[in-house]
Amino acid sequence: MSDKIKVFKNPSELAEKLAEEFIHYVDNKSTLNIALAGGSTPKLLYETLAKHSNEIDWSKIHFYWGDERCVSPDHSDSNYLMTKTALLDYIDTPTENIHRLLGEDVPENEARRYDNEIKSNIPSLKFDWIFLGLGTDGHTASLFPNTENLKNTTDLCVVAEHPESGQNRISFTFSILEKADRISFLVTGSNKKDVIHKILVDKIVSDEYPVSLLFNKRKDIEWWTDENAVSGLS
Ligand code: 6PG
């Protein structure tokens, strides 16, 4: 199996090892731009990083999000709220280092604002490290299957609509995702087994599975998984 696919016994072991890796990575950098994943999987990683908070110089790190639900920052669906309660509340990060996607604002305006925030702070458009999750339908960030948002664009952010709930989202586009220096997917649980198999074994490349379009461009993507998500993978 490729060395880019890391398989851990369970989500806790994955979170500890990835936190260790993160600590080491930050140690060797003077400043860095990180884009965080939303959803539920990364919460344990953020909580684990909070446990190691005194081992990291948080002033080096600028936090962005790869996508956000179009809700207020105190709404239970907010990726920012999830990150805040798991990590940000426990670390001394300068306020100016938190680049929150304003889910409460008009989606199209916020997508344009965030585009500009990234362009003015990261002229290379190259994040140091982007963490991403993987939906069972093969979406990542809020780039959903068979949507216009998968098409080539110079926009860094787009407005998306969740295919089931209809909830608006703001999401990075592939244009910014594919430029990152390092991209790590966090994928755990048996409910992700089928989609992981389609991407890593069947090597599907299709708008049906948006993550496959990114993987097709960036074979150096890291897959941080657990045994439940990859059991039976050759
Ligand atoms: C979001 C995420 C989304 C998520 C996947 C996996 O805002 O929900 O950006 O892409 O990473 O849907 O979600 P789980 O980690 O909850 O399985």
> Of all atoms in ligand 1, which is nearest to the CA of residue 192?
17
Ligand 1 centroid–CA 229 distance in Å is 15
Whether 233 shows a pLDDT value over 90: the answer reads no
Ligand 1 proximity of 48 Cβ (cutoff 6 Å): no
Distance from the alpha carbon of residue 132 to the mean position of ligand 1, in angstroms: 8
Domain that holds residue 41: 5-211+215-230
For the record, the structure tokens of 19 come out as 């936190």
Report CA 160 to chain centroid distance, whole Å. Answer: 16
Q: How far apart are alpha carbons 226 and 14 in whole angstroms?
A: 7
Q: How many CA atoms lie within 13 A of 121 on its CB side?
A: 20
Q: What does residue 216 show for φ and ψ, rounded to 5 degrees? A: -65, -25
Task: Indicate whether this model's pTM tops 0.85.
Answer: yes
What confidence score (pLDDT) does residue 231 get? 87
168 lines ligand 1 (CB under 6 A): no
Split at pLDDT 50, 70, 90, the class of 141 is very high
CATH number, domain containing residue 88: 3.40.50.1360
Query: How many domains does the chain contain in total?
Result: 1
Helix (H, G, I), strand (E, B) or coil at 84: helix
User: Are the CB atoms for 184 and 132 separated by under 8 Å?
Assistant: yes
Q: Is residue 232 very low, low, confident or very high in pLDDT (cuts 50, 70, 90)?
A: confident
DSSP bridge pairs for 39: none
- Give the ranges where the chain is alpha helix by DSSP (H): 11-27, 43-51, 79-86, 107-121, 174-177, 193-200, 210-217, 227-230
Q: What is the pLDDT of residues 101-134, one digit of tens each?
A: 999 999 999 999 999 999 999 999 999 999 999 9
What mean pLDDT value characterizes the chain? 97
- Residue 37 Cβ inside 6 Å of ligand 1? The answer reads yes
Asked if 45 and 186 touch (Cβ cutoff 8 Å), the reply is yes
Instruction: State whether the beta carbon of 67 lies less than 6 angstroms from ligand 1.
Output: yes
Residues 6+ apart with CB under 8 A from 230: 5, 7, 193, 196, 200
- Long-range CB pairs of 160-167 (<8 Å, 24+ gap) are 160/67, 163/137, 167/69, 167/70, 167/71, 167/77
105 contact partners, CB below 8 Å, separation of at least 6: 113
